[in-house]
Amino acid sequence: MNLKINASILSAVILSCVLAVGANGQIGIPDARLTVKVVDDDGSPVSGANVAFFFCKEFDGNAVAKFEQVTGFDGLATGEGATEGRFTINVSKPGYYISGAPMPEFRDTVGGRWQPWGATVSTVLRKVGDPVPMYVRKFGSEIPEVGTQCGFDMLEGDWVAPYGQGKVSDFTVTLSRRYGGWRDFEVQAEIVFPDKYDGIQAVDLPKEFSYSAFRWPRLAPTVGYQPSFVAINAWYPKDSGKTAVRSDNGAQNYYFRIRTVVQDGQIISALYGKIHGGIAVEPRGAKLCVIGFNYYLNPVSLDRNMESDPARNLAPKVRSFDQPLEP
């Protein structure tokens, strides 16, 4: 399971970083030195982790300058190499999710060395806990009608009849739309969870996990769910005096809860899930408006585990490039 994640992320690291050719002290290219402290979720040092430093030139993608070191009992590893000011780091260990590390900002060079020389940065290498199979979908579809509550079934991944094969309206989507052209439109999709205890809530992913392949808290919350959410996308002519606005961006994330059953004031059944990257609505190039979001649904009642196993996607007929790759 983890090998697939590691390979894809490592490839992205290499492709996103143009890499230098020489060794330390290459003529005309200053050296950089950096120490990485690797800790686990509890802040304890992680020994035996492989830290790969990729030192980069500014505009040369012909070859790789790479330095690797394994962390000791103190969780430290140090890398040094010639670079024109950019490099990336890949941290890995069996039983852990692959991670990167923050980069210090190089200010200038002194004696052929980037400053700060030998800076120390920290990164969290999160243990693989209990990844579970989930329904994982990268959903995108036309909203069927304007001004009508269109039901959506999250287990089926489809609109409820008469618009699709869905059976249960986990939430409804009501579209309002004004379209005057490519740069003159305003659309809103009101998402409503009809059951009293169902809903959605925004989450700020912990900053300490921002470099990890698994960035979410491990458990969804039990409280704080709101019954509705409005997704917006609007673009106005330059002379309108109005500012373009859209409610989605790649940093937005949400928890949701559906099919909640309460007995004697206690939740006895419910399904939990997460939405990664926001909820987008887009009228351009669409018949009415497309709605899109990436979601993960744990099908086990009352199981709030949000650690998905990408190798065991329960969603049928989903192509590999149609599903999010994160756990």
291 vs 321, residue with greater confidence? 291
- Residue type, position 194, single letter: P
pLDDT number for residue 241: 86
pLDDT at 320 over 90: no
Sequence-separated (6 or more) residues with CB below 8 Å from residue 189:
143, 173, 174, 175, 230, 231, 279, 281, 289, 291
pLDDT at 18 over 80: no
Q: Which helix (H) or strand (E) holds 11?
A: helix 2-15
Least confident range from 2-6, 86-90, 138-142, 246-250: namely: 2-6
pLDDT band at 22 (very low <50, low <70, confident <90, very high): very low
Q: C-alpha distances in angstroms, 296 versus 181, 255, 256, 286?
A: 34, 9, 10, 25
Question: What residues are paired with 241 via a beta bridge?
Answer: none
Q: Domains, the chain, ranges and CATH?
A: 2-124 (2.60.40.1120), 132-322 (no CATH)
Please report which residue ranges of 267-317 form alpha helices under DSSP H. Answer: none
| Other C-beta atoms lying within 10 Å of the C-beta of residue 324 | 16
pLDDT number for residue 249: 75
Q: Give percent above pLDDT 90 in the chain.
A: 70
pTM of the model: 0.86
> Residue 201 in 3-state DSSP?
strand
CA distance 148 to 321: 31
CA distance 144 to 164: 10
pLDDT number for residue 285: 94
Please report which residue ranges of 53-190 form alpha helices under DSSP H. Answer: none
Pairing of strands 171-181, 184-192: antiparallel
pLDDT digits (tens, 9 = 90+) for 143-153: 999 999 999 99
Whether 311 and 264 have beta carbons less than 8 Å apart is answered as no
CA distance 257 to 272: 5
pLDDT number for residue 13: 40
pLDDT digits (tens, 9 = 90+) for 177-232: 999 999 999 999 999 999 999 999 999 999 999 999 999 999 999 999 999 999 99
CA distance 88 to 82: 13
pLDDT digits (tens, 9 = 90+) for 79-114: 998 888 778 899 999 999 999 999 888 888 999 998
pLDDT number for residue 226: 97
Q: C-alpha distances in angstroms, 233 versus 76, 184, 185, 236, 284?
A: 46, 11, 8, 10, 10
Report the alpha-carbon angle 270-276-280, nearest 5: 105
Whether 6 and 96 have beta carbons less than 8 Å apart is answered as no
CA distance 211 to 255: 21
What is the rounded average pLDDT of the residues 129-149? Answer: 95
CA distance 229 to 191: 5
pLDDT digits (tens, 9 = 90+) for 157-183: 999 999 999 999 999 999 999 999 999
Mean pLDDT (the chain, rounded): 88
